Amino acid sequence: MLEERRSDIARLLEENRSFATGTIIASALAAAVIAYMLRRARQEEERMPAAMATGAWGRARDLVGEERLEAGRDFVMERLLPEFKPTLLAILRDFQDLTEQWFRQTEKAIKRL
């Protein structure tokens, strides 16, 4: 009788292990599906600004006409961008200096380890 109880307990433990393993696998699969769905939702949100820009361009073209829109684009390309070019280059150089400084600090920190 004692031996029979032990075999019943062993059988229950074995069944519970399979159940626990199945539960863990199902939970991992559910988490993967949720992560995939969240990732796809974020990708759709990222595409949205491009669609908005395209729609805005089309509405502006319909509102003011193709000629005026091209005149505005030409003005920006010929007048404004050349004036902003030195400023943009200075910002880029500052960014490069900061990243080089960060890399040097990181390299020193790694060497100290």
Give which of 75, 80, 50, 53 is closest to 61, Cα–Cα: 53
31 or 7: which leads in pLDDT: 31
Distance CA 33, CA 6 (A): 40
- The per-residue pLDDT for 25 is 75
Distance CA 53, CA 46 (A): 12
Average pLDDT in the 43-69 region? 72
Q: What DSSP line would sit under 36-90, residue for residue?
A: HHHHHHHHHHHHHHHHHHHHHHHHHHHHH-HHHHHHHHHHIIIIIHHHHHHHHHH
Q: In terms of pTM, does the model score above 0.85?
A: no
For 66-109, write each residue's pLDDT tens digit: 788 788 888 888 888 888 888 989 999 999 999 999 999 999 98
Residue whose structure tokens are 């009788």: 1
- The per-residue pLDDT for 103 is 92
18 or 104: which leads in pLDDT: 104
Assign 18 a pLDDT band (cuts: 50, 70, 90): low
SS3 113: coil
- The per-residue pLDDT for 4 is 63
